[in-house]
Amino acid sequence: MDTENNKVDSVLFEIRAGVGGEEAALFAKDLWRMYSKYFEKKGFKVIVYEDHRSDLGGIKTLVAEIKGDNVYELLKNEAGVHRVQRIPITEKSGRIHTSTASVAVLPKYSFTPIEIKESDIEIEFFRASGPGGQNVNKVESAVRIYHKPTGIVVSCQTERSQQRNKEIALQILKSKLWQLEQEKINKKLITERRQQVGMQERAEKIRTYNFPQNRVTDHRLNKSWYNLEEILDGDLDVIIKAFEKVKVNQ
């Protein structure tokens, strides 16, 4: 299915702490706060399926479904590695550290043309827990699915029903497998395009949040904004609209 020609109104949105230990998890938490405020401004519906926290309350991994008009088109350029440069609260000597967190945005369709064999998955049921590890359910209703051929692991604990959590986890797995298939299909075309236009992969970082300079820089646009606090408060339209202008001018 072509996401360029079909509006996608639901995505799986994933944030993971990267390099930097506890500070990376705290940065991932700050990113989630930024996006949550943006989603609220846009009137998007947010359903959190997975939320694993660090000892200080940072985010190790968070997976949510975001529903809203044309949400994939708005969020697709947020996918990649985000970098922060600041003095962590855990730093006593006042040194600036660099940490990272990754964002994934997967289009979610009502019908995903991916079939999963029962023999390819292992399903585990466990007790749901809230942020920080506190127990919120005495019944093993949470579900974790391991896809043996790819090594992908997904889990869901948002519903009280074991069956409903299993259905949601399978939907998440299908979306991730669909994404892998699209990457395989497009790999040859992407390689040819890189050879033709000399495009360099910027997988190491797409954006930097520099606190000492009050600066946010998007490295794909080669553009900076000096209102970091406002952007972290959900004012993402200034960056998202910059991508729209680039698309119009291409």
Check if the beta carbon of residue 209 is closer than 8 Å to that of residue 152: no
pLDDT band at 171 (very low <50, low <70, confident <90, very high): confident
For residue range 131-144, list pLDDT tens digits in order: 544 444 556 789 99
Say whether pLDDT at 130 is over 70: no
- CB neighbourhood size of 14 (10 A): 20
Q: Where are the domains of the chain?
A: 10-249
Q: How confident is the model at residue 128 (pLDDT cuts 50, 70, 90)?
A: confident
Q: Cα torsion at 209, 74, 8, 45 (round to 10°)? A: 70
What are residue 10's DSSP bridge partners? 67
Closest CA to 10 of 49, 76, 66: 66
Determine the average pLDDT of the residues in 112-124: 86
The reply to whether CATH 3.30.70.1660 applies to domain 10-249 is yes
Mean pLDDT of 180-202: 52
Average pLDDT of the residues in 35-59: 95
Global pTM value: 0.71
- 2 versus 43: which is more confidently predicted? 43
Residue 29 reports pLDDT greater than 90 = yes
Q: For residues 126 and 137, is the Cβ–Cβ distance under 8 A?
A: no
29 and 52 in contact (C-beta within 8 Å)? no
Least Cα distance to 128 among 25, 51, 62 occurs for 51
| CA-based max dimension of the chain | 58
User: What is the pLDDT confidence band of residue 202, given thresholds at 50, 70 and 90?
Assistant: very low
Distances in Å between the alpha carbon of 117 and those of 99, 114, 166, 174?
39, 10, 15, 11
